[in-house]
């Protein structure tokens, strides 16, 4: 049982050595892209909701 546990943690260490973390600039750029894209989608959905709600009000009259 202990041999398998020790082997597991050794393999975890080997895999963690292969991980490449993004640079600070790269991380900021990715975050900025996600924020901008989220705002664009939110505005788009807001406009669609506005159009549909106004059209439903016109139909309901």
Q: What is the pLDDT of residues 16-50, one digit of tens each?
A: 999 999 999 999 999 999 999 999 999 999 999 99
Question: 42 is in which domain, residue-wise?
Answer: 21-61
* Backbone phi, psi, residue 22, to 5°: -70, 155
In a domain, 15, yes or no: no
> What is the per-residue pLDDT for 55?
94
In a domain, 11, yes or no: no
Which residue has better confidence, 40 or 60? 40
Helix (H) or strand (E) run with residue 54 in it: helix 24-60
> What is the per-residue pLDDT for 61?
80
Classified as helix, coil or strand, 1 is coil
Under the banding of pLDDT at 50, 70 and 90, the label for residue 60 is confident
What DSSP string runs through 12-43?
Answer: HHHHHHT--PPPHHHHHHHHHHHHHHHHHHHH
In a domain, 25, yes or no: yes
**Predicted model pTM:** 0.66
């Amino acid at each position: 049982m202990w041999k398998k546990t020790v082997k597991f943690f050794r393999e975890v260490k080997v895999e963690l050595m292969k991980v490449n973390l993004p640079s600070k600039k790269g991380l900021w750029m990715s975050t900025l892209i996600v924020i901008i894209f989220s705002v664009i989608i939110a505005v788009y959905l807001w406009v669609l909701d506005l159009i549909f709600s106004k059209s439903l009000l016109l139909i309901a009259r």
